[in-house]
Structure 1
Amino acid sequence: MTADGAVTRPFHLGQFTSTLTLQGQDLSDLYLLTGVTLPNTPPYRLAGALKRDDSTWTFNDFTGRVGSSDLSGDVKAETGGRLRLEAQLASQRLDIDDLMAIFGARTQTNAAGTNTTTVSSGAPGKLLPDATLNVDRLRTMDGSLTYRAASVKANQMDIRAVRLGAELEAGVLNLNPVAFTFNRGSLTGTARINAARDMPYSAMDFRLTGYPLESIVPAKNGTAPITGQATGRMLLEGPGNSIHRFAAASKGSVSLVVPNGEMRSAFAELLGINASAGLLKLLRGDQSKADIRCAVADFNVSNGVARAQTLVIDTDVVLANGSGSINLGAETLDLKIDGDSKKPRLLRLWTPILVRGSLTSPRVGVDTGQVVAQGGLAAIVGAVAAPVAALFAFVDPGLAKDANCGALIASAR
């Protein structure tokens, strides 16, 4: 830290103005020097106007970089009683990897200021960071923060803008809003971390709106295998002093709905294990499309295990119903999908599709050692229609009006 300024009254350090430049490996390290709780970050360099007026400190009009992202803003600290910090921050262009450092990822930045690698702080092959939240520091101060990133560097999730708000009071951190804007669609929500207790207890409520499936399953040879827009909601709570430990002990629900879309006919046929139709279309390079009338995944979460309550994919050629679970602690999947063809096929394998393995590297295969007794279309549609109807209001009140998802329910009546 380097300061260049003036003391307005001789030998009275309660009043001064200066230009401050500070740099280091992680902003959270400043706690040891200032007592101010700051998030984990990549290496940083910031410069601005530092002023002290007795118990009021301000660091205004500062600019600089954190990792490979620019950062500017104003910070005010009141030290007369309990420490309180107020900050308004902004980035013109954010590297999303730098933001992930707050949640425990480790970002390596080269001399040119470009991120080269981001490594999860969890075990190798794991998705959820396991960096421990320092709850003692959250109890030492109060404060508020706003942050806005006007644009975001190209990233796999296609995030285009970020907006965050935070209030810390008596060891309870409320995040509102947490908003990510994608090229199409958005993820918005709130989170609450109660760090006043020895083991933090968190609750979150996030809604996904209009996220394109082609961003999840990328195009191959210029053609997207599946298209449509996903809408969902995640409502979870539980104890844990890291994201991974919270997920491993959480309870609640996770739901995802695709009200309409398209997928390659070959994949739709294979979803119902229609070997004659699906395999031939794949071998011939067939790019024809099948309509997705509705797709729904609804999971109940208990003790970190998400169990499928409703898992259905309804296309114009196949109706598939699924079951199974996702272990958020072990980060593994164990799902089974049974398909029923809507059209007669010459050759059909009566066996389910299995989706197993880790969240980072799932394996898709066929259970060739099991014969499946399928009850036909009427039984499948009848079993899923009621849960799907009840799910609409939970995920998006306007979704029940969608014609294609409505057709799924109507076909069961």
Structure 2
Amino acid sequence: MDEATQRIEQPVDIPAPPAPRLSRRRRIARNILLGVVGTVAAVWLVLFVTKGRFLKGPFERIVGGQLGRELRVGGDFQLYFAPFRIKLYAERVTVSNPGWATRQPFFRADRIDARIAPLSLIWGRRRLYSLDLLNGAADLEYDGAHAANTWTFGSGKKGGKPFEFPRIDEATVAGTTVRYLDPKMRLLADLDIDTIRSTDARIGRAVGLHGGGMVRDTPFTVTARLLSPDATVNRGKNELVMQAHAAGNTIDVAGTLPSIADIEDVPLQVRARGGNLSTLLGIIGVTLPNTRDYRLRAQLVKQGEEYRFTRLTGVAGNTDLAGRLTITNGERLHLASEIATRSLDIIDAAPFIGFNPDIVAARGAVAAAAATGAGPARIMPDARFPVETMRQFDADVHWTVGVVKSRNVPISDIDATLDLTRGKLTLSPLTFTMARGHVASDIVFDTRPRPSAVSYDIRLAPTPLGRLLAGYGVAEAGTSGTVKGRIQLTGRGDTIHDSLSSANGRMAFILPQGTFWTRNVQLSELDLGTFVQKMFENRLKEPVQINCGLIGFTVRGGVAAADPILIDTSKNVMLGRGGFSFRTEALDLAFRADGKKFSLFSAQSPVSINGNFAKPGFSVVSPELLGRAGVGLGLALVATPVAGILAFVDVGDAKSAACGPVLAGAGAAAQRTTGGRARDDVGRGTTATAEDGRRSPDQRRSQRKRFLGIF
């Protein structure tokens, strides 16, 4: 075999082709995967064996850092895979509150036992397969400025974000309590939540809670139910119904909240009922006169610092109410209201002068006055103005009333505007219609000076007397007379009684020309002869002409003296003297009529009104009349029976009054006869007789003091 052939036949070593790069990568990936699996298995084994108790410190730091709070586990701690779900077990867990909070911690629990979906910690919403929470307690607070709360965690441009509930498939939550504090509203609530059990991520039935607390120093109790707990934990709607009891009032609230602790811009249906509406608004520091039993409903919407009650309807006592109310909880509490009433029961109006309406309805005005601290037989209330409360809030109220239900006083078309600013309460204007006459008032209670400065300015437009006095037995037919007047008084005091007891001013009521029923006028004038004559002639309804009249009083230091009382009729001049006292409520008035024409059996003797405001007395048998009867008896015995009649004869020498000063409401000194002479039968608050004119000023002054009965 030649050399060439030999070379061909010899075997040649051919190098193997290099391994594909892909296979090498697979080996690397496999090795890495095996390493990871091994590591995970090792970690799993370590955690399973140790129960992950050594992770307690890192868990506190990492989770606490995410929350921006300090987290502590005071008891046993476990964190491991069991087998593929993360098991978290912790005892005596606490999460701190921000430094401004009034109480620590924000959250605590005796035990948390949860199974967590591992991947949910990385992607998407947190998911718990199960949760067992025992004796959890949460502290929910707002800061004083309402700018921050304790359930907003972390930091950032918007100050973090509120806590979000994880998805929980199965849960048992027992012994949970919640404390809620809102310093701006002065609200503190401590609530116990019923045990919650859920399966398949559904709680199913409503979750109830109950508890109590304080709102503006008033204790309350509350029960509530969350009707949509499943939607709540899934960040959906929160249907809530609640009933609270405070100061004798029951308040029901129902609505759907965007989040469990947020009522901003949410329409809530509110109902309230109780024995006295003033106790309800008194909870938030608003002063209101007492009312009888009330029932109200409204829609409440909170917008910032405003709580707006719209579509308000209801009743208080026998009075209907409708309108709106806005309460602003700003730097100063402010109440604004528009209220309309179709029919106001006069008893329900009693609180506006300080009476308790229930006492008025049951026992009368005197008993109601006594309940305010007034003395025996007094009718003016002695209830003190709530000075300190009136300085704590402001108010603007507009109230209209269609008609007032009253047996004696026909009042309708009330229009009242109230302004309360830093302790100064102004009723201006306060207008109403009385017996077809218009009354306009401006009343001011200024509690800033001590004692309060009070002013009354009440103006009565011409009003038909027949209609005005119809409730007191005066028929309207045949009476065309009218009355107009004005009361201007200023005083000092923290009660209506005190302000009037110190009042100075003038009261004047003018009677323009008109007619009255004879039976009404002749009795008051005590012209017995004319009355008996017309009674037998069946002419009692014949009108008697009133030329002009003035019932005027000058008030000094709470004492009103007649200045003057002068009524000029076609047949008589009726004069009055005396007065009354706002201090003691004593009445001491005397009226007499002097005939312009001859009249038999005219008593020519004063008719007295005495007693007090609560129980006035009326006397027609006066000492002067008895003396006249004695003179008549003496004449009859000495002379003849005809001579005895002369003691009761009115010779008819009364001087007619010039109506100009009367209709101008002028004082006694300005009054004149039709002849232009100054009247000598009126003056200084008394009706002067010829004998009075001969008395010295000191004697007249002494007589007036005894007459008024106030010294």
- Could you say what secondary structure the match of 1:98 adopts? coil
2:597–2:653: 8 Å Cα contact kept in structure 1? no
1:275: how far off?
3.6
AA paired with 1:322? G
Alignment of 1:366-377 (within 5 A): 366-369=621-624, 376-377=653-654
Give the alignment partner of residue 381 of structure 1, picking from 657, 675, 683: 657
1:317 lines up with 2:564 in the alignment? no
Distance 2:259 2:494 in 1: 46
Which residue number in structure 2 is paired with residue 156 of structure 1? Answer: 408
2:279 to 29, 34, 39: 29
Partners of 1:322 and 1:299 in 2: how far apart? 11
**Match for 1:364 among 614, 619, 623?**
619
Confirm whether residue 391 of structure 1 aligns to residue 391 of structure 2: no
> Residues 171-197 of structure 1, C-alpha deviation per residue, up to 9 Å, x if partnerless?
101111111213411221110101123
Aligned counterpart, 2:381: 129
Deviations 1:351-387 (A, max 9, x none): 3222222234331324333679999434x737xx675
| Structure 1 residues not aligned, in runs of 5+ | 110-114, 395-407
Q: 1:323 to 1:16 in 2, by over 3 A?
A: same
In the alignment, which residue of structure 2 is the partner of 1:401?
none
Q: Are 1:193 and 2:440 counterparts?
A: no
Q: 1:80 to 1:347 in 2, by over 3 A?
A: closer
2:511 corresponds to which residue? 258
Q: Which 10-residue stretch deviates more, 199-208 or 345-354?
A: 345-354
Which residue identity does 1:361 align to in structure 2?
Answer: P
Q: Letter of the 2:576 partner, please give it.
A: G
Map 1:14-413 to 2 at 5 A.
16-108=266-358, 119-120=365-366, 121-123=368-370, 125-214=377-466, 215-216=468-469, 218=471, 220=473, 228-265=481-518, 268-269=521-522, 273-282=526-535, 286-287=539-540, 288-359=542-613, 360-369=615-624, 376-378=653-655, 381=657, 387-388=661-662, 390-391=664-665, 411-413=674-676
CA contact (8 A) 1:217 1:226 kept: no
**Structure with max Cα Rg:** 2
| Further displaced range: 12-21 or 33-42 | 12-21
Question: Cα gap change, 1:377/1:78 in structure 2, threshold over 3 Å: closer, same or farther?
Answer: same
For 2:442, the aligned partner's letter is T
Amino acid at match of 1:381: A
How far has the Cα of 1:307 moved from its partner?
0.4
Q: Alpha-carbon deviation of 1:12?
A: 3.5
What amino acid does structure 2 have at the position aligned with 1:245? D
Which has the larger displacement, 234-243 or 293-302?
234-243
C-alpha displacement at 1:142, in angstroms? 1.1
Give the whole-Å Cα distance in 1 for the aligned partners of 2:524 and 2:318: 43
Deviates most, 65-74 or 129-138: 129-138
SS in 2 for 1:391: coil
Q: Is the partner of 2:531 in helix, strand or coil?
A: helix
Give, in whole Å, the separation in 2 of the partners of 1:276 and 1:81: 73
- For 2:519 and 2:413, locate their aligned partners in 1 and report how far apart those are by CA, in whole Å: 36
Distance change (3 Å), C-alpha of 1:258 and 1:54 = same
Name the CA shift for 1:178/1:364 in 2 (closer, same or farther; >3 Å).
farther
Structure 1 CA distance, aligned partners of 2:254 and 2:447?
38
1 CA distance for matches of 2:459 and 2:651? 34
Structure 2 contact 252–272 (Cα < 8 Å) conserved: yes
Change (3 A) 1:198 1:221: closer
In 2, Cα distance between equivalents of 1:51 and 1:367 = 68
User: C-alpha distance in 2, partners of 1:361/1:226?
Assistant: 25
After superposition, the Cα gap between the structure-2 partners of 1:364 and 1:219, relative to the gap in structure 1 and judged at 3 Å, is: same
Render the CA deviation track for 1:260-279: whole Å, top value 9, x for unaligned.
23234355455555443234
8 Å contact from structure 2 (residues 298, 310) kept in 1: yes
Using the TM superposition, give the Cα deviation of residue 225 of structure 1 relative to its aligned residue in structure 2, in angstroms: 8.8
Q: Name the amino acid aligned to 1:335.
A: L
Distance 1:342 1:45, change over 3 A: same
Q: Does the 8 A contact of 1:28 with 1:38 survive in 2? A: yes
Q: Figure out how many residues of one structure are paired with residues of the other and give that number.
A: 391
Tell me how far apart the structure 2 counterparts of residues 356 and 119 of structure 1 sit (CA, whole Å).
Answer: 19
Instruction: Quote the Cα distance in structure 2 between the aligned partners of 1:347 and 1:91.
Output: 53
Q: Distance in 2 between matches of 1:90 and 1:244?
A: 30
Structure 2: segments with no counterpart, 5+ residues: 1-250, 371-375, 629-646, 677-711
2 CA distance for matches of 1:186 and 1:23? 36
Letter in 2 for 1:46: L
Give 3-state SS (helix, strand or coil) of 2:404's partner.
coil
TM-aligned CA distance change 1:219 to 1:68, over 3 Å = closer
- Quote the offset at 1:130 in angstroms: 2.8
**284 and 65 in structure 1: CA distance in 2 versus 1, 3 angstrom threshold:** same
Higher helix fraction: Structure 1 or Structure 2? 2
